Chain A
Amino acid sequence: MNDALPKWADIALIPLLNLTLALIVSGLVVLFIGEDPFEVLSLLVEGAVGSADGWSYTLYYATNFIFTGLGVAVAFHARLFNIGGEGQAMLGGLGVALALLYVPWPHWSLALLAAVAGAALFGAAWAAIPAWLQARRGSHIVITTIMFNFIASALMVYLLSRVLLVPGAGGSPETARFAAEANLPGIGDLYALLGWGCVERPIASVCRAPLNIAFLLALLASVGVWALLWRTRLGYEIRAFGHSEPAALYAGISPTRIIMMAMLISGGLCGLMAINAVMGEAERLVIDPVQGAGFVGIAVALMGRSHPIGICLAALLFGMLYQGGGYVEFDIPAISREMILVIQALVILFTGALDNMVRVPMEALFLTRRRPEPALPLTATRSDGDPKDRQVEP
């Protein structure tokens, strides 16, 4: 009975309950190490959304998670579990670097177009190989995409330490900085444009926050994914294939084509994450530009129920956890980086893996609240005025 819950409960109530449970358990863990959970929570919220710079960082992280979340969600709709967002985003970063390092773009807008093409193309290409293996050889996509994360990571180390390494940089394996013309407008530029002053704070200033125009690109991508899935013929076929492969075959939908298309789009979206992290923030290619966002994307897609609106909200939540977590770490030394990871992991655990723990009792609750209707309200029999029939019509 998948229709047991009203839609608002499915998309809002259940995630909120999951989140509450995760926070309660996190609170217990914080209590266990001798800190005040309420203080930690209030610091976390303050750090994430309590100031302009907090917001900027939160939205910057959220941008990464929107891209990877969308990517994972498109594959989910074709019932493909793309765990390779991490590697695809790394390759996206390579695409961005190649597009920006060797061409002197006169303006950031042209550079952005080239970088988008490079990021999407490289991300998609990295997803294409596991997709092809799945479609043609039946190699399980979970296994192959996860292996491709390792290959991507090794490839990046090789390229950055041997091939793309800037001469004489010494030490950190990274490329040269991109040309200043290729720098994306960020939140600081917006502040300058509007003539607002920046408040300098101990760890951050809104003018140095990495939030950039890629955030708008992420929102645009969300609309695009929605239109793709629910308005285009390809989306119709992807979702049909995801619901039932035998039905897709019956309808003449080619599984190979759907697996390839869904994974190419998925990999492309994951690759686009590099626009934000590589082009917008680092402004050069560093050794690990993704920093786990590919995996967080899985949690974001799960929590957002693979719908762009849900994904944006879930990405915002995880952005808050990332940014707020760093803030708490700074203020309460006992809450280490690892503690923040534990809290994030608990959120992923409760929203993703333990979803049914809340869902099943909630469904039962909603079912009992509804007044029982007669058996088979949807029967095919034509009522001919038999009093019994009339009596059971709702």
Chain B
Amino acid sequence: MSPAGNGGDAALAIELRGISKAFGPVQANRDISIQVRRGTIHGIIGENGAGKSTLMSILYGFYRADAGEILIGGRRVEIPDSQAAIRAGIGMVFQHFKLVENFTVLENVVLGAEDGRLLKPSLAKARRLLKQLADDYEMDVDPEAVIEDLGVGQQQRVEILKALYREADILILDEPTGVLTPAEADHLFRILRGLRDEGKTIILITHKLREIMEITDTVSVMRRGEMTATVRTAETSPEELAELMVGRKVLLRVDKAPATPRDVVLEVRNLRVVDEQKVERLRGIDLTIRRGEILGIAGVSGNGQSELLEVLGGYANGTGTIRMNGREIDLTGSASNARTRRARGIAHVPEDRQREGLVMDYSAWENVAFGYHSDPRFSSGLFMDHAAMRADCDDKMHRFDVRPPDPTLAAKNFSGGNQQKIVLAREIERNPDLLMIGQPTRGVDIGAIEFIHEQIVALRDQGKAILLVSVELDEIMALSDRIAVMFDGRIMGERLPDETDQRELGLLMAGMAGEAA
């Protein structure tokens, strides 16, 4: 560690020296040192749980480091809370926006940074600034619009405007493209480049290698709480970064033979769903999936994909026709539930495994029977057969390489990837005709992504029909045999993966009409 009083380099916007942070037994950050040059876009990449968010939370004053020091513009600073971070010129754009939904853009920008007791002067000042920023960086947002009427891309711009209004010189963005269409992401990147050229410093936290390669000047890689490397982006490659993240070589492409689709398994006609607020979430979906093929559903999240999975999975009501192996499924009656769907050969790996797919407080062995707990294998009469459940769990954990292979551990204590393996093992092993899988690799480490993708392709090759829903376009392109794009509760069009590209799919995802399906 450097001796106290040693001044830093003023050309560095941020310098961290020897930052460590432990949460009880978990060392989230270990002796992290990093230098971010002023006027650059600096990427920080790492698997889930590598410690990226902890590090940024320390920088933004949410946590205090156990050891180490922070230098801003060459001066040592203490950041005990987020107010101090803002005073030091740091602005943060969170993955989940922190906006007041029923306030206008202007009110949100000013909120917490008012100049005095009267709002009017602050609002006038903010309006002038917004206009100027809009001109300078394509940040066109109507200052009088109410947040809940804006799209996610625009809401994100409001978050950036908030930071700039507070005179941030350093902007930290946490997974900013997760909710954006490719076009919106491009727009964001143009804004970020403009800000950089003005001399702002930008730190971009992401797990998407493509974004790192596209926009950053420098990239730091984190693994298991440590900073494993900082390299110039121009001098590295996605493969090298992936290897640095995981600690071994990673196959970024999915190896798969061409599909040989056979008879129709699932047929969906004119499926409609109206939610509790009487908003139509699905507006007439038509789909067909055959044995031995993967149908990928692309789309920005919130365009009806979740509702589609819920209706097919049996726990939301809809109207229309669904046929499984030629036989119609009852969509509304009291027999329409997740249990009867499973009995009809539909297995479901849900989008949100922590909320739906697993009972987080249940041990792994209790979770392995979840949804199939009435199966004669696991229960006889009123009672559950714990020995059979444990044995089944033990077996699945070894075959799916779940770590640690301890059936008594609660689901919440496994990493995202291992949780997903538990769900996947449970759903695949029932030998379903149709596997629905939502966001298969969300929150999953790169090492496990590879394994999960292999499993999906292997299942297809065994002649199962697979419905894949993902907001990761790369994943859809890599795995699907056919791609359907959803926007606003409709299928905007179907494409074959080798006859389309990200740009075309991106347009469909944004609702620019292709031909109707």
Quick one: which of B50, B359, B384 contacts A243, CB cutoff 8 A?
Answer: B359
Known: A232-B382, A370-B24, A374-B27. A252 touches B248 (CB 8 A): no
Q: Which of B284-292, B318-326, B409-417, B459-467 contacts A (4 or more CB under 8 A)?
A: B409-417
- The answer to whether B384 and A236 touch across the interface, beta carbons within 8 angstroms, is yes
Q: Which of A19-27, A90-98, A123-131, A378-386 contacts B (4 or more CB under 8 A)?
A: A378-386
Known: A233-B374, A246-B356, A375-B224. A3 touches B413 (CB 8 A): yes
Within 8 Å of chain B (Cβ to Cβ): is A392?
Answer: yes
Q: How many residues of A contact B (CB 8 A)?
A: 42
- The answer to whether A251 and B382 touch across the interface, beta carbons within 8 angstroms, is no
For the complex, give the distance between the alpha carbons of A4 and B313 in Å.
Answer: 36
Known: A373-B27, A379-B415. A250 touches B225 (CB 8 A): no
Chain A residues with CB under 8 A of B348: 250
Known: A3-B410, A381-B248. A250 touches B371 (CB 8 A): yes
Chain A residues with CB under 8 A of B30: 374-375
Q: Which of B73-81, B195-203, B332-340 contacts A (4 or more CB under 8 A)?
A: B332-340
Quick one: which of B366, B384, B403 contacts A379, CB cutoff 8 A?
Answer: B403
Chain A residues with CB under 8 A of B22: 372
Chain B residues with CB under 8 A of A380: 403, 415, 417-418, 421, 444-445, 447-448
Q: Which residues in window 204-238 of A have CB below 8 A to B?
A: 231-234, 236-237
Write the chain A residue with the least CB distance to B412.
A2
- The answer to whether B366 and A236 touch across the interface, beta carbons within 8 angstroms, is yes
Quick one: which of A3, A244, A375 contacts B359, CB cutoff 8 A?
Answer: A244
Interface digits, B410-448 against A, CB 8 Å rule (1 contact, 0 not)?
Answer: 101111011001000000000000000000000011011
Within 8 Å of chain B (Cβ to Cβ): is A342?
Answer: no
Quick one: which of A368, A382, A384 contacts B401, CB cutoff 8 A?
Answer: A382
Interface range on chain B: under 10, 10 to 19, 20 to 34, or 35 or more?
35 or more
For the complex, give the distance between the alpha carbons of A218 and B471 in Å.
Answer: 54
Chain B residues with CB under 8 A of A2: 361, 412
For the complex, give the distance between the alpha carbons of A259 and B156 in Å.
Answer: 41
- The answer to whether A240 and B359 touch across the interface, beta carbons within 8 angstroms, is yes
Quick one: which of A236, A251, A367, A376 contacts B338, CB cutoff 8 A?
Answer: A251
Write the chain B residue with the least CB distance to A231.
B383
- The answer to whether B366 and A371 touch across the interface, beta carbons within 8 angstroms, is no
Within 8 Å of chain B (Cβ to Cβ): is A39?
Answer: no
Known: A251-B370, A374-B27. A381 touches B447 (CB 8 A): yes
Shortest distance between the CB of B434 and any CB in chain A (Å):
16
Quick one: which of A4, A243, A384 contacts B248, CB cutoff 8 A?
Answer: A384
Within 8 Å of chain A (Cβ to Cβ): is B358?
Answer: yes
Within 8 Å of chain B (Cβ to Cβ): is A389?
Answer: yes
- The answer to whether B448 and A254 touch across the interface, beta carbons within 8 angstroms, is no
Chain B residues with CB under 8 A of A1: 23-24
Q: Which of B350, B382, B412, B444 has the most CB of A within 10 A?
A: B382
Within 8 Å of chain A (Cβ to Cβ): is B164?
Answer: no
- The answer to whether B403 and A247 touch across the interface, beta carbons within 8 angstroms, is no
For the complex, give the distance between the alpha carbons of A378 and B414 in Å.
Answer: 6
Chain B residues with CB under 8 A of A377: 25-26
Write the chain A residue with the least CB distance to B419.
A380
Q: Kindly list the 3 A-B residue pairs having the minimum CB-CB distance in the complex, ordered from nearest.
A: A252-B339, A375-B225, A252-B338
- Mark A residues whose CB is within 8 Å of B: 1-4, 231-234, 236-237, 239-240, 243-244, 246-247, 249-252, 254, 367-368, 370-384, 386, 388-389, 392
A and B contact pairs by CB, cutoff 8 A, 29 listed:
A1-B24, A3-B410, A3-B413, A231-B383, A231-B384, A233-B382, A233-B384, A236-B373, A240-B370, A246-B355, A247-B359, A249-B338, A250-B338, A250-B348, A250-B356, A252-B371, A367-B24, A368-B24, A374-B27, A375-B26, A375-B27, A375-B28, A375-B51, A375-B226, A376-B415, A377-B26, A380-B415, A383-B247, A386-B247
Known A2-B361, A233-B382; 17 more pairs at CB < 8 Å? A1-B23, A233-B383, A234-B382, A239-B359, A243-B361, A243-B362, A247-B359, A249-B315, A251-B371, A252-B315, A375-B28, A380-B415, A380-B417, A380-B444, A380-B445, A381-B445, A381-B448
